[in-house]
């Protein structure tokens, strides 16, 4: 039994700017777990929003007693063990959990979407994300994304209207808008959402800081547009309270600590009558394909993290103009390209 990992720098096709950061390179940690002649893959895409770095991921891995991973089928036990090592480190935990799932699928010969009870014809359309930029660059990016039927637009800086107007100067397609906690006053958020309501926007994601749930509740009473939680979604335990302020949640395998936890969150959200979006970080096809295996169970997909990079070292679920196409290989269905 072996557990190996290495840092890998993802090169972005375009500088990626959201309300709190701007990046050209995103380092991730790729993981290989080997047992009984089966090699399984995992990935951690650490996120500064949650105080994670490649170093913190490596430090977490260094504390794992590999004997605890002897029986990958014991997913509950393994997840409890990982949680006992740290309250945080969601992306590092996700990497291990993804590899355990890949191993189980390969051992049993079952693609994970089938293991989860989904049908691969039911993956919702995925958005293509346009980061914050100058109007000229936004227009170029929107034209490049012409084949994607739905776009996700990042806002949350003072030039929101300018961005949406630039998008609308070249396309009428539906938009989903993500403010990444960028609007700090509820009055400002209300004004922006009212304006967005005139722009064929399907929903608004995390308009205000995660901690300001009372303000979001106030907002929800005043707007028709669905409000989706992202940064506010820490774990399944947060869902009942979030349901009092938000219409849906954005579940991410990396942010929420792996496929087992993401699946529990899907059921918790359904029990609270919430809509579900499956989101991602900037990730290789390992992380994106892991999330894609859950996508037949959700309402909206935002799984374009691997499309935004130029050096994906794996091939997995295909993204054909927003249609996520799962393959029938056992486990994750990812293959290293070298
Ligand atoms: Mg988001």
Q: Which domains does the chain have, with CATH numbers?
A: 2-109 (3.30.390.10), 114-336 (3.20.20.120)
**Cα(35) to centroid of ligand 1, in Å?**
36
Q: How far apart are CA 187 and CA 4, in angstroms?
A: 50
For residue range 133-160, list pLDDT tens digits in order. 999 999 999 999 999 999 999 999 889 9
Token pair 């994300």: residue: 129
Is residue 306 over pLDDT 90?
yes
C-alpha 134, offset from chain centre: 25
Q: How far apart are CA 112 and CA 118, in angstroms?
A: 9
**Cα(130) to centroid of ligand 1, in Å?**
12
Tokens of 320: 């054909």
Predicted confidence at residue 194, as pLDDT, reads: 97
Tokens of 279: 């989101």
Predicted confidence at residue 74, as pLDDT, reads: 98
Give Cα separations from 13 to 158, 214, 282, 297, 310 (angstroms): 25, 38, 11, 30, 6
Ligand 1 ion: Cβ-proximal residues, 5 Å cutoff: 178, 205, 230
Token pair 């409890």: residue: 80
Is residue 277 over pLDDT 90?
yes
Beta pairing class for 227-229 and 201-205 = parallel
Rounded to the nearest integer, the mean pLDDT of the chain is 96
C-alpha 234, offset from chain centre: 13
Is residue 203 over pLDDT 90?
yes
**Cα(215) to centroid of ligand 1, in Å?**
18
**Cα(7) to centroid of ligand 1, in Å?**
24
Predicted confidence at residue 233, as pLDDT, reads: 94
Q: Is 207 helix (H, G, I), strand (E, B) or coil?
A: coil
Higher pLDDT residue, 21 or 277? 277
Q: Quote the pTM value.
A: 0.94
Q: Which of 279, 259, 19, 246 has the alpha carbon at shortest distance from 127? A: 279
Token pair 């994304």: residue: 145
Mean pLDDT of 289-295: 98
Is residue 49 over pLDDT 90?
no
- Residue 254 pLDDT level (bands cut at 50, 70, 90): very high
**Cα(131) to centroid of ligand 1, in Å?**
11
**Cα(217) to centroid of ligand 1, in Å?**
18
Predicted confidence at residue 19, as pLDDT, reads: 78
**Cα(104) to centroid of ligand 1, in Å?**
30
**Cα(177) to centroid of ligand 1, in Å?**
9
**Cα(180) to centroid of ligand 1, in Å?**
6
For residue range 100-118, list pLDDT tens digits in order. 999 999 999 999 999 999 9
For residue range 52-100, list pLDDT tens digits in order. 999 999 999 999 999 999 999 999 999 999 999 999 999 999 999 999 9
Is residue 17 over pLDDT 90?
no
Q: Which of 207, 211, 286, 288 has the alpha carbon at shortest distance from 252? A: 288
- Residue 14 pLDDT level (bands cut at 50, 70, 90): confident
Higher pLDDT residue, 21 or 81? 81
- Residue 18 pLDDT level (bands cut at 50, 70, 90): confident
**Cα(178) to centroid of ligand 1, in Å?**
6
Predicted confidence at residue 21, as pLDDT, reads: 83
């Amino acid at each position: 039994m072996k557990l190996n990992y290495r840092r890998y720098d993802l090169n972005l096709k375009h500088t990626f700017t959201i309300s709190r950061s701007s990046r050209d390179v995103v380092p991730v940690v790729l993981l290989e777990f080997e047992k009984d002649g089966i090699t399984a893959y995992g990935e951690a895409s650490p996120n500064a929003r949650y105080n994670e770095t490649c170093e913190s991921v490596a430090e977490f891995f260094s504390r794992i007693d590999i004997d605890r991973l002897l029986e990958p089928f014991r997913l509950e036990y393994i997840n409890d063990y990982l949680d006992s090592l740290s309250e945080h480190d969601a992306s590092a935990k996700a990497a291990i959990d993804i590899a355990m799932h890949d191993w189980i699928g390969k051992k049993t010969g079952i693609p994970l979407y089938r293991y989860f009870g989904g049908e691969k014809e039911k993956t919702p359309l995925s958005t293509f994300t346009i980061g914050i930029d100058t109007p000229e660059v936004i227009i170029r990016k929107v034209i490049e994304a012409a084949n994607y039927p739905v776009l996700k637009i990042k806002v949350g800086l003072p030039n929101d209207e300018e961005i949406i107007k630039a998008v609308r100067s070249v396309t009428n397609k539906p938009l989903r808008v993500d403010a990444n906690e960028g609007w700090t006053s509820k009055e400002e958020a209300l004004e922006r959402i009212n304006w967005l309501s005139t722009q064929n926007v399907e929903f608004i994601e995390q308009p205000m800081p995660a901690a300001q749930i009372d303000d979001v509740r106030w907002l929800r009473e005043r707007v028709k547009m669905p409000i989706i939680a992202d940064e506010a979604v820490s774990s399944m335990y947060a869902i009942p309270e979030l349901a009092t302020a938000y219409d849906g949640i954005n579940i991410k395998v990396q942010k929420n600590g792996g496929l087992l936890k993401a699946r529990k969150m899907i059921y918790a959200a359904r029990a609270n009558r919430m809509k579900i979006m499956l989101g991602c970080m900037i990730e290789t096809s390992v992380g994106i394909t892991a999330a894609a295996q859950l996508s037949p169970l959700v309402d909206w997909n935002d799984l374009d993290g691997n499309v935004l990079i130029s050096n994906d070292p794996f091939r997995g679920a295909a993204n054909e103009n927003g249609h996520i196409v799962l393959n029938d290989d056992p486990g994750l269905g990812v293959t290293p390209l070298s």
